[in-house]
Amino acid sequence: MGRSIRRADNGRAKLYERIFVAMCIGAVLLPAITLLGLLLSLLSDGLPRLSWDFFTSFPSRKAELAGILPSAVGTLYLMALTAVIALPLGVGAAIYLEEYGRKRKLATIIEINIANLAGVPSVIYGLLGLGLFVRTLGMGRSLIAGACTLALLVLPVVVVASREALRTVPMGTREACLALGATRWQTIRQVVLPQSLPGVLTGCILAVSRAMGETAPLVLVGALSYVTFLPDGLDAPFSALPIQIFNWVSRPQPAFLVNAAAAIVVLLGMMLVLNAIAVVVRDRMQMKLGRPA
């Protein structure tokens, strides 16, 4: 009797387990399916709108004449500037923390700061940009103010990725170099950095790709949604793709929603290209270094 009961229980337990696993798989698939549905609906709404004119036109009150030229150019400038600012600062901070700062009090303080900054909402960075760069430092509602704000926002990403890359270089490599008489900085510049470069660059590209989609900080710094000129300097007013998308999404006419979908396709396309570059860079360089990809 005991045996039969146990067997029945076992059968039921197996059934419950199967049901539960099926539910779990559903839970994992829900976000994936949502993502797929999102992409499909974007492509079906936006792709037909993508014409050459859409890329070369300025915004307009008429949805079918409006284009993304100033906002796309603004985004490209912004990303270049953000990378130029965030890359040296982030890699420098990572080198300090990994190569110089071990067990120093200052390094611990910096680490705690970076961990906390990573959790600060991006709209708060916008307030910082507005109060510090736009007003206090007098940069105005300019390209450079936007780039500085975005650079601070993605700095934690660059630092974390660069530290991980630096950590993959074996201690023995550093010691060998030092034993040959190189100074600490010579070791870092000629041995450690070249070896960790694939990881560092990948991290930076991913950081820029994250900055590319940020909207709220740029709204606060004062990016414009209706621009009839291209930025001609660091202090020029500017627009950016997410800002243009936000503006079009906020309008009631359906034709502008189609424009928004098309602009989102362009934005996601640019991010996809960046990520593909990151993958290629990493593989190429790892091959050069003679490590398996």
Partner 1 sequence: MEAIAGVAGNTHDVSRSQFRGRAKKPSERVIEVLLVLSGLISVFTTAGILYTLAAETFAFFEHVSILEFVTSTEWTPLFADKHFGILPLVAGTVLTSGIAIAVALPFGLMAAIYLSEFAPSWARRALKPTLELLAGVPTIVYGYFALVFVTPLLQKVMPSLSGFNALSAGLVMGIMIIPMISSLSEDALASVSNSLREAAYGLGSTKLSAIFRVVVPAATSGVAASVILAASRAIGETMIVAIAAGQQPRFTLDPRVPIETMTTYIVQISMGDVPTGTVEYRTIFAVGSTLFLMTFVMNVFSQRLARKFRER
Residues 229-288 interacting with partner 1 (rule: CB under 8 A): 242, 245-246, 249-250, 257, 260-261, 264, 267-268, 271, 275
CA separation for the pair 240, 275 (Å, rounded):
20
* 292 lines the binding site for partner 1 (CB under 8 A): no
* 159 lines the binding site for partner 1 (CB under 8 A): yes
Nearest approach, Cβ of residue 113 and partner 1 (Å): 4
* 97 lines the binding site for partner 1 (CB under 8 A): yes
CA separation for the pair 141, 243 (Å, rounded):
14
Binding residue for partner 1, selected from 65, 123, 176, 287, defined by CB under 8 A: 123
Nearer to partner 1 by Cβ, of 255 and 288: the residue is 255
Nearer to partner 1 by Cβ, of 37 and 56: the residue is 37
* 164 lines the binding site for partner 1 (CB under 8 A): no
Site for partner 1 in 25-44 (CB under 8 A): 25, 27-28, 30-32, 34-35, 37-38, 41-42
Indicate left, alpha or beta for 227 from its phi (over 0: left) and psi (-120 to 50: alpha). Answer: beta
Nearer to partner 1 by Cβ, of 7 and 184: the residue is 184
* 100 lines the binding site for partner 1 (CB under 8 A): yes
Neighbouring residues of 182: CB distance < 8 A, sequence distance ≥ 6:
190, 191
Collapse the DSSP code of 282 into the 3-class scheme (helix H, G, I; strand E, B; otherwise coil) and give the result. helix
Binding residue for partner 1, selected from 43, 73, 96, 230, defined by CB under 8 A: 96
Burial class from Cβ neighbours inside 10 Å (0-12, 13-18, 19+) for residue 88 reads exposed
Binding residue for partner 1, selected from 63, 154, 155, 200, defined by CB under 8 A: 155
Binding residue for partner 1, selected from 178, 230, 234, 281, defined by CB under 8 A: 178
Integer angstrom CA distances of residue 59 from 50, 56, 113, 270: 15, 10, 41, 20
**DSSP label at 101?**
-
- Of the candidates 82, 74, 80, which has an alpha carbon nearest to the alpha carbon of residue 231? 74
